[in-house]
Amino acid sequence: MEKEQDFKFIDGVFTFDDADKLLIALLNYKIDYHNREDFSNHIRFNQEMAHSKVRIQELIATKDDIKQVIASAKENNKRLIINSTLTIRLEE
C-alpha cells in the first residue's frame, strides 16, 4: 500500500431530505462511537477519555451547522452537492 491513499467517500447531488438522512446518520454514528469509547474506558479503567468528550462536542457543533445548511436548502427548495474524500496515511 502507498503511504497515502484517497478514496471518494461521498459524491453526489442530494435532496435536503436525503442529505439530512446521510449526514446526520454519519455524525450520530461518530458521536455514538465516542460515547461508547468513553463509557468503555470509564468502566474498564475508571478513566474518562478527554479526547472523546472534546470530539463529541465538536461533532455536535458540526451537526448543528449542517442542520442549518440543510434547513436553508429546504427553505429555498435547493438540492445539495456533497463531495467528501477520505484520506488514509500510514504512520511511520
Alpha-carbon span 79 to 74, nearest angstrom: 8
* Full residue range of the structural domain in which residue 25 is found: 17-77
Q: Can you spell out the DSSP letters for 22-58? A: HHHHHHHHHHHHHHHHHHHHHHHHS---HHHHHHHHH
C-alpha distances (whole Å) from 67 to each of 3, 14, 16 are 35, 14, 10
- The SS3 call for residue 19 is helix
Alpha-carbon span 66 to 33, nearest angstrom: 19
72: in domain: yes
Count of structural domains within the chain: 1
Cell numbers placing 53: 468528550
pLDDT tens column, 27-51: 999 999 988 887 676 656 666 666 7
24: in domain: yes
Question: According to the model, what pLDDT value does residue 8 have?
Answer: 96
pLDDT in tens, the chain (92 residues): 678 999 999 999 999 999 999 999 999 999 999 888 876 766 566 666 667 788 899 999 999 999 999 999 999 999 999 999 999 999 87
